[in-house]
Amino acid sequence: MGDFTSALGMLYWTIMIMVTITSVLGNGFIVFVNGDLWFQNRKMVLCDILLSALSTSRCLSQFVVLMNNGLQFVFSENHLNSYRHNVLFLVWFFSEIVSIWCNTWLNVFYCVKVTNFLSRPFLWVKTRINVLTLKLLGMSIVVSLIFSLPSAISYYDQKKWCNRTGRQTLNASQSKVCKDINTVFLLPQLCVFTINFIMNITASILLLISLWRHTRNLRNSGIGVKDLNTRGHVNVIKSLICYVFFYLLYYAGMIIYANHVTKLSEIAIIISDTLSSLFSLSHSIILILTNPKLRNWCAYMLNFRWRAS
């Protein structure tokens, strides 16, 4: 998005800067709180490890997107074929892989911990989820990166050829040689996003079903709607529905991103980047509001600042 002087460009940059800064503050707050608790206790529970890794990778991803767009504004089209762009893309790609897998396994972790389905495979996983989660997270990231290696090798081989020829040949058999790095990595990105989408939606639906059943049982047992347990479950259901809504928007943004890569649409860039940043922001807010430690810290800091002012 290089045309900053246009009305569309100014709107894009205004939205991106506001959303990115707020998202970094939200995710940075999660990292700060968990880091402070780790420093005090010298240990961190699995949930906090996943939250910290997720928030750190999201902060890095947001910084890279903003930096890349800024460099594209300064250097225009020359930036897209530069070494800077390639390095930033690889850093973004790695941080995005880490963040989406952390997000997925965090969602699966919550689902397995909270839900109660009477089946042997599920009960087996439930008793071992604490041990399995980090191993599965590490394996998922490693496998995703290994799956992306052919694309990386293909791109840099093509890059060498393009540097030697200095131009793109018109020969039909060689017309795909000088590809943009976004195009080359499109297939592994879509595969990882799709796998995570299926896992996330499945875990969210199972969690919603379990919470809804439990809430219904509480109401049928004669406990009023104003009961704290019932209200707590209802609030979690609302938060989960919000998460699913923004996650669907995020996945839609990834599809639009794929369309941008193939058709180079300026509108697609705006929508894709905005939806991605919006999901990072909204999810960090949901995590803070639904996590007692983070919520209490946030309330304490806001109250402290309000009194200080």
Question: Measured between alpha carbons, how far is 216 from 235 in angstroms, rounded to an integer?
Answer: 14
- Alpha-carbon distance of 236 to 210, in angstroms, equals 11
| Sign for the pseudo-dihedral over CA of 290, 286, 30, 52 | positive
What Rg do the C-alpha atoms of the chain give, in angstroms?
22
d(CA 214, CA 218): 6
What does the pLDDT read at residue 30? 92
Give the predicted TM-score (pTM) of the model. 0.84
Give the pLDDT of residue 170: 40
Q: Give the amino acid at 98.
A: V
Q: What structural domains and CATH numbers belong to the chain?
A: 7-295 (1.20.1070.10)
For residue 305, the model assigns a pLDDT of 54
DSSP-H helix ranges across 42-82: 46-75
pLDDT by position in tens, the chain (length 309): 445 556 766 777 788 788 888 888 999 999 999 998 888 888 888 888 999 999 999 999 888 888 877 777 776 666 566 677 788 888 989 999 999 999 999 999 988 888 877 778 888 888 888 889 999 999 999 999 999 888 888 877 777 666 555 544 444 344 444 667 777 888 888 899 999 999 999 999 998 888 888 777 777 766 554 555 566 667 778 888 999 999 998 888 888 777 766 565 667 777 777 888 888 889 999 999 888 888 888 888 777 655 444
User: CB of 60 within 8 A of CB of 96?
Assistant: no
Find the distance separating the first CA and the last CA of the chain, reported in whole Å. Answer: 39
Residues in contact with 290: Cβ distance below 8 Å, sequence separation at least 6, in sequence order: 235, 236, 239
Nearest to 285 by CA among 24, 17, 26: 26
Contact by Cβ (8 Å): 2, 73 = yes
Measured CA to CA, the distance from residue 255 to residue 8 in angstroms comes to 21
- Label residues 41-70 b or e (16+ Cβ within 10 Å = b): eeebebbbbbbbbbbbbbbbbbbbbbebbb
